[in-house]
Structure 1
Amino acid sequence: MAKYIIRYGAMRFIGVFSARAKDEYVRDDKVIIRTKRGLEVGEVLCEATDEAVAQLNDPAFGSIMRAMSAEDEKQMLHMLGDTQREVETVRRVIGEMNLPMQLVDVEHLFGGERVVVYYLAESRVDFRDLVKALASELQTRIEMRQIGVRDEAKLLADYGDCGKPVCCNTHLSEMPPVSMRMAKLQKATLDPTKISGRCGRLKCCLRYEYDTYEELQRDLPPIGSDIVTGSGRGRVLNHEILAGQLLVRMEDNRNIMIDASEVLTVLKRGNGSTGGSSRRGKRRDKKDAPDEGGNPNQSNPEATED
């Protein structure tokens, strides 16, 4: 029995799903799957080889019911057409109950088993009466899911500053933690308006090359190091990490750029770096930008109602 990795749901979950005997699928095929939430529409990403599954963190599991048919597409379009009505209904009921929450989106599962309501709130909300009212009006099971601002962007954002679709709504299955230290090490501008994504938090793409920068920086003498080169002694002022170059102030007060391979000896290692590795820099980084991938930005199911 073949297995495939499939992406599904408004939050773009990733799971491993078993196909029926002799059924075969290729990338981008649309399929009807059964998850723990019910019947849903999924998109085939690849075959679930051992190597591919090893890359997933706590994947969901389920089964592939069938390839998506023309009738299924009509049903999905009809369901999507009802979504706006459901959004208006949920927003109206929230307003009538004067609840301290902000509606973000509504997801109606393909099989009609439930409607998932995504919302923002600064504190815990008692929405038991809301769930009962919505279950009565929409005639289905209601699931309330509190999310963070990064998940809001994942649901609603379209394009980033780069001109491409936002990463959180395309290839990212998890949103990695991002800190100001990553921006400083890569010498990105520290202007918040330029390094913040559609969610208002630091851009996820700052995380992509950070490990490479850290690895390359380890091979360079730290800033403040006293070194000996073929041209004499000097002190490291700065790094050009990707180029493998150092900005050095020589004994005659000239500032020159040299290749790291020209360093003959490190007489005294400095304790500073562009990544904020000094004690003072660490305190500042922690204050400026705590981990932006923590629990407050993860979606959390809270209640359902039949």
Structure 2
Amino acid sequence: MLGQHWVRVGVVGEVGRFTAPDAARYARGSRVVLRTRRGLEVGDVLSPIEQASGYADGVLLRGVTVEDDLLLARLDRKKAEALDVCQQWLERQGMPAVLLDAEPMLDGSRVFFHFLGEVPEGFDALSDALTDEFRQATGIDKFAETLEHGCGPGCGTDDAENGCKTGSCNTCAVLHACSTKKK
């Protein structure tokens, strides 16, 4: 049976059903890395689901690692800068929208901005520029590549190169990044 969990994710606190492909069970309050429709995110486990179904809002990849926490701290520092740039842009444009928060994805693929009111016209270009700035400032591209593809051919299997065998991902740039890769 698939290990499904109710997980709270995002600054809005959306709750969804996430499946751990390895059927692992995570305790309430565990911080986990998720693949959602928006990208890679960190969430908080609310509860394992006893009556799992085939439906899921995404995949629960693994628990948060020390490396993830370091990356999250870096993203949080850049988030403050992004909020300042966005607020200045709104003021220059004379936009009445109220900027509430910014939410970078763990893999740096996107930064989501939350507004009270309508999203300002022409904001997409600024959002894309801020996302590119995030990617460069955090050096997140290598992390995202390792998380997505592992550390090399056969990552997470007994045939792996670079010493990254099943259950012993000590050579990955991100510890346990390849733990969901199987033969």
TM bracket, shorter-chain basis: 0.5 to 0.7
Counterparts of 2:16 and 2:133 in 1: how far apart (Å)? 25
1:87 equivalent among 83, 86, 94: 83
Counterparts of 1:106 and 1:21 in 2: how far apart (Å)? 32
Q: Where does residue 139 of structure 1 map in the other structure?
A: 132
Q: Where does residue 73 of structure 1 map in the other structure?
A: 69
Q: Does 1:15 align with 2:16?
A: yes
For residues 73-106 of structure 1, what are the alpha-carbon distances to aligned partners after superposition, in whole Å with 9 as ceiling and x for unaligned?
A: 1111111111110100100111111112111111
C-alpha spacing 1:107/1:8, structure 2 compared with 1 (3 Å) = same
User: Which entry has the higher C-alpha Rg, 1 or 2?
Assistant: 1
Q: Does 1:33 align with 2:34?
A: yes
For residues 7-32 of structure 1, what are the alpha-carbon distances to aligned partners after superposition, in whole Å with 9 as ceiling and x for unaligned?
A: 11100011111112242311111110
Amino acid at match of 1:36: R
SS at match of 1:119: strand
CA deviation after TM superposition for structure 1 residue 115, in Å? 1.3
CA deviation after TM superposition for structure 1 residue 134, in Å? 3.1
Per the normalisation by structure 2, the TM-score is 0.65
Structure 1, unmatched stretches of 5+, are 54-58, 142-306
1:136-215 correspondence to structure 2 within 5 Å = 136-139=129-132
Q: Does 1:44 align with 2:37?
A: no
Counterparts of 1:67 and 1:137 in 2: how far apart (Å)? 28
1:97 equivalent among 81, 90, 93: 93
Percent identity between the two aligned chains:
25
2:112 equivalent among 110, 116, 139: 116
Per the normalisation by structure 1, the TM-score is 0.40
SS at match of 1:139: helix
Q: Where does residue 128 of structure 1 map in the other structure?
A: 121
For residues 24-52 of structure 1, what are the alpha-carbon distances to aligned partners after superposition, in whole Å with 9 as ceiling and x for unaligned?
A: 311111110011111000111111123x9
1:182-261 correspondence to structure 2 within 5 Å = none
C-alpha spacing 1:138/1:22, structure 2 compared with 1 (3 Å) = closer
Moved over 6 A (4+): none
For residues 248-286 of structure 1, what are the alpha-carbon distances to aligned partners after superposition, in whole Å with 9 as ceiling and x for unaligned?
A: xxxxxxxxxxxxxxxxxxxxxxxxxxxxxxxxxxxxxxx
For residues 179-209 of structure 1, what are the alpha-carbon distances to aligned partners after superposition, in whole Å with 9 as ceiling and x for unaligned?
A: xxxxxxxxxxxxxxxxxxxxxxxxxxxxxxx
How many residue pairs are counted as aligned between the two chains?
132
Counterparts of 1:73 and 1:17 in 2: how far apart (Å)? 21
Structure 2, unmatched stretches of 5+, are 135-183
